[in-house]
Chains A and B, each alone.
Chain A
Amino acid sequence: MTQLVKVSNLKKNFGTFTAVKSISFNINSGEIYGFLGPNGAGKTTTIKMLTGILVPTSGKIEICGLDLLTHPLEVKSQIGVVPDEPKLYENLTGQEFLEFVGSVFLMDKDEMKKRIEELCDAFEINFLEKFIGDYSHGMKQKLMLTSVLMRKPKVIFLDEATVGLDAKSAKILKMLLKKYANEGSSIFMTTHVLEIAEKMCDRIGIINAGEIIAEGTLSDLRNESGKQSLEDIFLQLTGSTDEEVKEIIQNL
C-alpha cells in the first residue's frame, strides 16, 4: 500500500520549549488517521508542520513521495488543509474566495463550478454572495471545507473540522471523508470528539507532551490497554484514570 504521508523524527522547538519531541508515523493511501491528545499536547503544532505552516526544527516530512522542505509548493498543490479556526478575508465574498482558491490551484473552471454546486447542495451553502466578515463560525467552516473538498486533494488535513458544523453537515462531512478515503485519499484529522475517532479512523495516534504514546488500530489500542472504549484508553494513556476524574467531580 502506498504511503502518502511519511513523518520521521519530527521535532519542533519554540525557544527552549519543545512542543513536539521527535515523532514518527506514516499514513497509507485510503486511510483515515486520527490524531488525538489533550490540550497543549502538540497536535496543532504537528499539523502545522505537516502542512508547511511551520518549519520543523528537525526531522523529515514526505507527502505524496515529495520532501515537504525541498518541494513545498508541489506538496501544497496536492494537499488540503481545514484549520480549527478558519481565518479568512472578511472583505471578500464566499464566491470571490472560492474563485481565488480555484485560480491559485489552477483548477478547471467547469469542474470547479460543478464541484462547488454539489458541495453547496450538500452543506446547504446559500450565502456565497455575502461578505465573509458577516459569516458565523459554522458558515466559515463550511466555506473552508468547500474550498478544500472542491479540489479533491490527495491528502486532507483537518484540525477539529466538525466544530461549528450542524449535525447534518457534520454527518455529511464524515461520510464524504470516508468516500474520499475509499477513492485513495489519505485523511489526517485531529479531534477531541472521541466518538468520531472511534467510528471513522482506521488508525489512531495519541500524542501527549509532544510524544506519540500510542499508535495503531482501535483493536490494537484495546489489546494494549485492556480497555474497551476509546475514552477509557485515552484517559489511561494520558495519565488520567476514571477514579481520578470521579474524585475531581466529588471535590467540586
Chain B
Amino acid sequence: MNKLTLLIRYKLKMWSNIPLRRGRRKIPLPFYILMLAGVFIAISVPLYLFTLDLFQNYSKIIFNGISLADLFVEISMIGIFVLVLVTDTPAIALNVFMSEDVDFLLSLPISQSTIFISKNLETIIQGGFPALFVIPILISYANATMMPWYMITMMFLMYIIYFVIVNSVSSIIALGVSKFASRSGTQRFMVFTSLIVYVLSILLMSTVSSLNPNDKNVTEAFASYLSTINLPFLPSTWFINAIKLRIDGLLPLIITAIILAFVTYRISSSGILSGYSKMKSATKHIRMRNYNLKSPEQAFVSKDLKLMRREPSILFLLIYPAIFPLFLLIGGVMGRGQSSITHALTGGILISIFISSMYTVIATASLVSIEIKVGEFIKTLPVGNRTPLWSKAFVITGAFAIVMMVTFSILSAFFGGFILSVITVLLSIPVLLILSFFGVYATVKWPNSIGGVRRPLNTTGNFVSMGIGFLGALIATSEGLYFSGNRIFPFLSPAYQFLIFLAAPIAGEIIMAFVIFKLLSKIDWANPYETK
C-alpha cells in the first residue's frame, strides 16, 4: 500500500510540475481541485435543474412498474458505460500496457498488481471525468422520486460498483488491444473515439434539450423504448433495480463487479509482464516497391497532407466547420418553414466560415509543431527555409476550404443556395491563408515546448491567436454576410451596407495581410527553430 501511495504521490508531483517546465509558477494541487470543482459545478447545476423538471414529470408516467424517469436513468447509465468504455479502453491500453514508464517501474521492487492499480487509477483520474456528470442526474432523480437519505447513499455506492464493472471491461479489452494494435494506431484510435463521443454528446444534448416533457408524442416514444432498454442482462437494468433495493438488481450487480474486478486484476496484472510489440508483423523483404518522386515543393505539400490526414487533433479541428451547420439546419428543419431553413442555411454557412477562421491558426500551428519536433532534419535538406512553412499554410487553408466547399455543396443540394456557398468560400480563402501564415508565425514566436501537436502554442500564443483568429473570422463572415443579402441592419442604405460589410472588411484583410507578412519577415527565417 505504501508503494501504491508513493507511485500516486509522484504522479501528482509530475502533473503539478508541468507549469514549472513551461516556465510558469507551480500551481498547487488544491487550486487544480478547485478549478475542476468549478467546472463541475458550472455544468452540474444547470444539468440538475433541467433534469429535475424532467424527472418530476416522467416519474409520474409508469409502464410495467418502470417509470419513464427510471428509463431515463437507465439510458444515462448505458450512455456513460459506452462513453467510459470507448475513451478509457485506448487510454488504459496506452497508459497501462504500452506505457514506456511501466518498463522502468517493472524493474523496481514493486509488485505488478501495485503498478497495475496505480496506472489504472491515473487513467481513471484523467479519463473518468465525464462519469462525474451522472452525479447531478442521479441527485435530481433522487429528489424527484423523493428518495430517503439511506437510499441515496446506496445509490451512489451502486454507482461506484457500476463504474468498477465498466472499468474492468475496459481493462480486459485494453489488454487484448495491446496485444494486436500498435502504439501509434492506438493513439490515433483514442483521439477518434474522443471525437465520436464528443459529437454524440452534442447530438444527445441537443436532442434532450429539445424534449418537452409535456409533449405526449415524446412520452409515448420513450415508452416504446422500454422493451429495448430495460433488459434483464444489462448492468444498467441491474443498477436501476439495485437502487430500489431489489434483490434482482443488487445481487447481479455486486457479484458481477466482484468477479470482473478479480478477473481483471489477475489477468491484467500478469498482462503487463507479457509485454507488447511496437512493431507488428514486419514483412520479410518486400521487393519492387513503387516510389513516387515529385518536385521538392510538391514533396513537401504531399508530406504535409499525409501528416495532417494522420494527425487526429488537426482532423478534429477540420470536422467542426462541417458539423455546426448541420446542427443549425436540424433546428431549421424542426422550425418547419422555408424561411427558417433559408436562415439556418445562411447561418450555417457563416458559422462554418467563422469556425474555420478561428481554427486555421491553431491547425497550422499544430502542423508546424510536428516539424519543430523533427527539428534539425529539415534544416539539413537543400530547400529554402520558407518552403516547409509555406507548404503548411497552403495545406491547412486548402483543407478548410475543401471541408467548407464539400459541406456547403451537400447542404445546397438539399436546400439550395449553391451560389452563395461558392462566393462565401472564395471570399474566405484569402483570410484563411493570412491566418495560416499567422499560425506559422505564432508557432515560431510562441511555441509551447512541451505541449506537443495538440497544444502547440504557449498561453500568450493562444491568447493572441484567438484574437487574430476572431478578427479574421469577423472579416470573412462580414463578407459572406454582405453577399447573403443580410437583414441584420435593414435600416442601412445599400451604400453603407457595401461600406461596412464589404469595403471595410477587405481593407481590414489587406491591413492584416500586410502586418502579418511584416511580422513574418522579422522572424529569423534562417533559423526558425534554433534552440535558444
| Inter-chain contacts of B296 with A (CB < 8 A) | 103-104, 106
B509 at the interface (CB under 8 A from A): no
> In the bound complex, do residue A103 and residue B295 qualify as a contact, i.e. CB atoms below 8 Å apart?
yes
Are B278 and A96 in contact (CB-based, < 8 A)?
no
Decide if B104 is an interface residue (CB 8 Å cutoff).
Answer: no
Give which listed residue, B279, B374, B382, contacts A104 with CB less than 8 A.
Answer: B382
16 residue pairs from A and B, CB less than 8 Å apart: A53-B376, A73-B382, A79-B380, A89-B303, A89-B307, A98-B291, A101-B381, A103-B296, A103-B298, A104-B299, A104-B381, A109-B293, A112-B291, A116-B289, A126-B285, A127-B282
Which residues of A are at the interface with B, using a C-beta cutoff of 8 A? 48, 51-55, 73-77, 79, 81, 83, 86-92, 95-96, 98-107, 109, 112-113, 116-117, 120-121, 126-131, 133-136, 139
Chain B residues near A134 (CB, 8 Å)?
Answer: 182-184, 278-280
Residues of B close to A90: CB separation below 8 A:
184
Q: Kindly list chain B residues whose C-beta atoms are within 8 Å of the C-beta of A89.
A: 303, 307, 370, 374
Q: How far is the CB of A219 from chain B (nearest CB, A)?
A: 34
Asked whether, in the complex, the Cβ of B382 is within 8 Å of the Cβ of A74, the reply is yes
Interface contact A112-B293, CB-CB below 8 Å: yes
Query: With the chains together, A83 CA to B283 CA distance in Å?
Result: 27
Which chain B residues numbered 274 to 313 have a C-beta less than 8 Å away from chain A?
278-280, 282-287, 289, 291-296, 298-300, 302-303, 306-307, 310-311
Q: How far is the CA of A48 from the CA of B293 in the complex (A)?
A: 28
Task: Please determine whether B306 and A128 come into contact, CB atoms closer than 8 angstroms.
Answer: no
* B380 and A81 contact, CB distance less than 8 A: yes
Docked pose: A233 CA to B283 CA in angstroms? 46
Contact A126 B286, CB 8 Å, known A53-B379, A91-B310: yes
Interchain CA distance A79-B380 in the complex, whole Å = 8
Residues of B within 8 A of A (CB): 182-185, 278-280, 282-287, 289, 291-296, 298-300, 302-303, 306-307, 310-311, 370, 373-377, 379-384, 526-527, 530
The total number of A-B Cβ pairs within 8 Å is 121
B292 to A99, Cβ gap below 8 A?
A: yes
Taking each of B183, B289, B383, B527, which has the highest tally of chain A beta carbons within 10 Å of its own beta carbon?
Answer: B289
CA distance A73 to B375 in the complex (A): 17
* A135 interface neighbour in B185, B278, B375, B380, Cβ under 8 Å: B278
Contacts known (A92-B303, A103-B299, A135-B278); A48 close to B376, Cβ less than 8 A: yes
> A92 touching B307 by the CB < 8 A rule?
yes
Contact B374 A133 (CB under 8 A): no
Contact B303 A100 (CB under 8 A): yes
Q: Find out whether the CB atom of B380 lies under 8 angstroms from the CB atom of A102.
A: no
Instruction: Choose among B306, B370, B373, B377 the residue that contacts A83 (Cβ–Cβ < 8 A).
Output: B377
> Closest residue to A102 on the B side, CB-wise?
B293
- Give bound CA distance, A183 to B300, whole Å: 32
| Given A87-B374, A89-B303, A134-B183, A99 and B293 contact (CB-CB distance below 8 Å) | yes
- Checking B291, B294, B377, B526 against A95 with a beta-carbon cut-off of 8 angstroms, the contacting residue is B291
A145 to B321, CA, bound (A): 42
Looking at the assembled complex, report how far the CB atom of B355 sits from the nearest CB atom of chain A, in whole angstroms.
25
- Kindly provide the distance from the CB of A185 to the nearest chain B CB, expressed in whole angstroms: 16
> Measured between alpha carbons, how far is A235 from B365 in the docked complex, in Å?
47
B279 and A127 contacting across the interface, CB-CB below 8 Å: yes
B188 to chain A, nearest CB (A): 8
B143 → A minimal CB distance (Å): 49
Report Cα–Cα, A136/B280, bound state, in Å.
12
Q: Does the CB pair B184–A133 fall under 8 Å?
A: yes
A87 touches B182 (CB 8 A): no
**Residue contact A117 to B287, C-beta cutoff 8 Å:** yes
CB contacts (< 8 Å) of A83 on chain B: these are: 376-377
With a CB–CB cut-off of 8 A, which chain A residues contact B526? Answer: 55
Known: A87-B374, A117-B287. A52 touches B380 (CB 8 A): yes
Task: Let me know if B373 and A76 touch, CB within 8 A.
Answer: no
